[in-house]
Structure 1
Amino acid sequence: MAFDKKDAQIIAYRAAYICSNPECNTLTIGPAITDPQLINKKGEAAHILGEKAGAARHDPNSSINVASVENGLWLCANCHTLIDKNQGADYSSDDLFGWKKEHEEFISMLLRTHKSPVPIILRQSTNRKIAQNIVDCISNKGVYFQCHSIENPDHVMKSIDEVRRQIIFEVQAIDSDKRLKQICKYIQDANREFMNELSLDNSLLDDYLIILRKRVGIQLKRLRDEIGCHISGQITSIIP
């Protein structure tokens, strides 16, 4: 069950409508461009401790009121989905209470010292642009989605090397986003291992391509779901 409307608003205010995930910090509210009476909001008050048995991080022995502001964490919609995957196995309640404490303390400091949160927002905007550049580069390379039978091994190697070099260039500009750097590393690992294998035996090109596309597809899905990248066209065929 969602938080009471008033409590959800308090959780959002305390976070300044900025996602509390330290690797995200995206702004979650803003104006609708076409209508001065409308807003766009993509933030949500997330439960740190789940309300019911089976919910992410549910703790029947906790003394915390799960419906209270104390148990609420303001996140963008993507990060809310992320922390609750697999019943929250990758995100402990201690970690999330830590996010809440550190983020609210940081927002309080900005307020007291008359400093701007804009650098946080600009950093997130820059990192997302980098992620989109990587998606666009991969999307323009047929090696990741073309029918196997028309792929030339020499052209395949050249295309993947171009993607590898582009990612190396883009990664240098990523600012304090471990998640995005990790995704880039996984793509680079897939490309490098494919190139190494193909250099030894290109008769298995089709088999290697299947593996490469699956590995890259998983990371493209993460770029779409976790970073917010736009992905369209034929490249979507490899996203699980």
Structure 2
Amino acid sequence: MVTVKLFAAAADAAGRRVLEGDWAGLTTEQLMQHLQQEYPGLARLTPVLSIAVNREYAPGDRVLNDGDEVALIPPVSGGAEDGAGRPLFEVTTAPLSADEVAARVTNPHSGATVVFVGTVREWTNGRRTVHLEYEAYAEMAVAQMERIGQEIAERWPGARTAIVHRVGALAVTEASVVIAVATPHRAEAFEACRYAIERLKQIVPIWKKEVWEDGEEWVGSQTGPDWMHPAGSR
């Protein structure tokens, strides 16, 4: 038995969030061909869907095994802990605090801590946002956040990173993501924090739905190769 999880626009297109079937032995590409026939609404997304198997991005020739968990990652615009037992990388429904996230990385060896706070804005391209709805493949999101933290530590020795993203319905001005990076010197802290938010937008499976006064839409290209923008610009 293989389990398929669908998120955001993919879940809307199929009308289902979880599928199960005897698909062991198929490649991920063959599985997608089968799902397109079973759920025609997925067809328009297939060229830009990314597929994860067991919470890792997988190529089209990956052969599925019994018990695998497949996730369809649509177009989109527990991890390590600090010394107090708080996760450095987290997906949560709770309101975010920049000071609290910064405290997770500040340490005696850091000379600078830079914090990025992404907030919900009211106007985008002349259209008024009522609120945003964020959705995540939480387990994989945390794993990819950890990957970003490892990349930063390798690129900027001594750097310590925390990334916390909120999901659910968020009102205008509320914080959707807080990233804190502490490094021995300030220049590296600024560079590493910018790197973290750009990588988060590239690889972390979190999506946002813009809810306007006159409609709603998942953010991100639904038809082209620019799908690699999780949650879009904040």
Name the TM-score, length of structure 2 as normaliser: 0.31
Q: Which has the larger radius of gyration?
A: 1
Q: Which has the higher helix share?
A: 1
Q: Which has the higher contact order (CA 8 A, sep 6+)?
A: 2
Q: Which has the higher strand share?
A: 2
